[in-house]
Amino acid sequence: MTTPLVELDGVSKYYGNIRALEGVSLTVGAGEITCVLGDNGAGKSTLIKIIAGLHRHDAGSLRIEGEETVLGNPREALDRGIATVYQDLAVVPLMPVWRNFFLGSEPVRGKGPFRRLDVGLMRATTRSELLRMGIDLRDVDQPIGTLSGGERQCVAIARAVYFGARVLVLDEPTAALGVKQSGVVLKYVAAARDAGLGVVLITHNPHHASLVGDRFVLLKRGAMAAAHTRGAVTLDELTRQMAGGSELEDLAHELERPPAPPPAGPDRAEGA
């Protein structure tokens, strides 16, 4: 294949004396979906914050289209074609859909003091772009907070695609959604892939990952636990590794039916 759009090689990140991420490598090519799997505290958020430009990495290298880079802020990442859709930070709930759609990249017309938002274009584009993604909006003037969680994710994805993103980073897009809504969101993820975008999909749901993923990276406690490509791994295997393999078996023992007086479970501090 050609040069990957984004390539991480042995990337590490420390917060003071806390090791949030250590030696993580992954690749995303055009028209591919790379899934990053991990439990809470595995370092998934840290990883996307590095790709999105919110944090600088402390070690290892980040290459964008083959060129080694350190991203200083989200704007820089956007300019390099990397758009990130956050689970909870995707939109501003009280603002109308069309204002959200263009937030940060508003089109203007007119000159000098008469430079103003091109409201007509913004409304029309929002409506047609969402329709193109299959979202038939009731009213682009409604506050985006009135949309369902799945719809909000889809608006955010449609926005990224419209603004020419080449890499889409999705932070747990299906985490808070029901089965049907999750399916809808995954459909748009696949649509973005088919449009030639590279997608980094962060999730803790191996079922969703195995449905669309081309590559799988498993994180555990800040380090890489495994890396697979599609076809080389089964859903069961992925689920088992994801759930912690032997840890899950231990848990099964602990939860067995006639319980002895419950032993004090090891409280595991969450990293990062």
CB of 111 to another protein, least distance (A): 13
When the beta carbons of 10 and 145 are compared against another protein, the nearer one is 145
Whether 36 contacts 8, CB under 8 Å = no
CB of 197 to another protein, least distance (A): 17
Spatial separation of the C-alpha atoms in residues 12 and 73, rounded to whole Å: 18
CB of 236 to another protein, least distance (A): 29
When the beta carbons of 38 and 150 are compared against another protein, the nearer one is 150
When the beta carbons of 67 and 141 are compared against another protein, the nearer one is 141
CB of 204 to another protein, least distance (A): 21
When the beta carbons of 95 and 248 are compared against another protein, the nearer one is 95
Q: CA triplet 61, 67, 72: central angle to 5 degrees?
A: 65
**Which residues of this protein are in contact with another protein, per CB under 8 A?**
52, 54, 74-75, 78, 84, 86, 88-95, 99, 102-106, 108, 115-117, 119-120, 123-128, 131-132, 134-136, 138-139, 141, 143, 145-148, 150-151, 154, 181, 184, 187
CA-wise closest residue to 20 among 202, 238, 219? 219
When the beta carbons of 86 and 216 are compared against another protein, the nearer one is 86
CB of 125 to another protein, least distance (A): 8
User: How far from the centroid of its chain's Cα atoms is residue 45's Cα?
Assistant: 9
CA-wise closest residue to 3 among 74, 83, 84, 68? 68
Q: CA triplet 116, 78, 103: central angle to 5 degrees?
A: 35
When the beta carbons of 146 and 239 are compared against another protein, the nearer one is 146
Each as own residue / partner, the long-range contacts of residues 105-112 (CB below 8 Å, 24 or more positions apart, any chain) are: 105/163
Q: How many CA atoms lie within 13 A of 221 on its CB side?
A: 4
SS3 category, 38: strand
CB of 15 to another protein, least distance (A): 16
